[in-house]
Amino acid sequence: MSRKSWISTFGHAFEGIWYSMKTQRNLRVHLIMAVLVIGAAAFFHISWGEWLVLLLTISVVIAAELMNTAVESAMDLISPNPHPLAKIAKDTAAGAVLVTAIFAVLIGIIIFYKPVFIWFGWMNS
Ligand SMILES: Nc1ncnc2c1ncn2[C@@H]1O[C@H](COP(=O)(O)OP(=O)(O)OP(=O)(O)O)[C@@H](O)[C@H]1O
């Protein structure tokens, strides 16, 4: 692939991310949560292994949210009128985001409960 194609590929990808950020409130919420969690991870000096899991989890949630936007847009294009299959597609894509978000919360609790408890003095290190 030529250098120009690489640049235009990245450009289109960033256009998609920017569009989703502008139009999807849930994505903005997830991005704000990601920034807060990364700040907390730096504050509590979590281990390298925990950093890997945390960054992977954040990327999965954001990627799922972007795929959800893609499914919504495609359904709005091909099925502007209500259709049971469009409903299944949109609801399932939203379900995928929900699954990643629930597991992200569980992973966050597993990583942060100990440093938070120690910081508040509710647990000995
Ligand atoms: N073309 C359609 N046919 C049938 N049901 C639909 C259709 N479009 C939307 N729906 C139903 O309405 C719900 C909301 O769809 P909508 O496109 O408004 O997403 P949304 O609520 O704006 O999602 P988000 O908050 O992620 O932007 C869908 O999950 C689906 O159940």
With bands split at pLDDT 50, 70 and 90, how would you rate the model's confidence at 1? low
Asked if residues 75 and 62 have their Cβ atoms less than 8 Å apart, the reply is no
For residue 87, report the distance from its CA to the centre of ligand 1, in Å. 7
CA 76 to ligand 1 center in whole angstroms: 9
Pocket test of ligand 1: the residue of 26, 72, 77, 100 to mutate, having most ligand atoms within 8 Å of its CB, is 72
Q: Is residue 106 part of a domain?
A: yes
In this predicted structure, the answer to whether residue 77 has a pLDDT above a threshold of 80 is yes
Q: Which atom of ligand 1 is nearest to the CA of 80?
A: 1
pLDDT of 92 > 70? The answer is yes
* Number of domains making up the chain: 1
Residue 12 falls inside a structural domain? yes
Cα separation values, 39 from 32, 35, 119, Å: 11, 6, 15
pLDDT of residue 39 exceeding 90: yes
Assigned domain for 102 exists: yes
Q: What is the mean pLDDT of residues 91-104?
A: 98
Q: What percent of the chain is modeled with pLDDT above 70?
A: 99
Mean pLDDT, residues 31-47? 98
pLDDT at position 7: 86
Q: Is the pLDDT of residue 68 over 70?
A: yes
In a domain, 17, yes or no: yes
Does residue 44 belong to any structural domain of this protein?
A: yes
For residue 53, give its domain range.
3-120
Please, where are the H alpha helices in the chain? 3-23, 25-43, 48-78, 84-120
Q: Average model confidence (pLDDT) for the chain?
A: 96
Q: What was the ipTM of the complex prediction?
A: 0.89
Cα–ligand 1 centroid distance for 15 (angstroms): 22
Write phi, then psi, for 83 (nearest 5 degrees).
-145, 140
Judge contact between 61 and 105, C-beta under 8 A.
no
**CATH value at residue 105:** 1.10.287.3610
Residue at 111 is within a domain = yes
pLDDT mean over 77-87: 97
- Percent above pLDDT 90 for the chain: 90
| Pocket flag, ligand 1, residue 82 (CB < 6 Å) | yes
- Domain assignment present for residue 125? The answer is no
Per-residue b or e along 91-125, where b marks 16 or more CB atoms closer than 10 Å to that residue's CB:
eebeebbeebbeebeebbeebbeebeeeeeeeeee
Q: Is residue 34 part of a domain?
A: yes
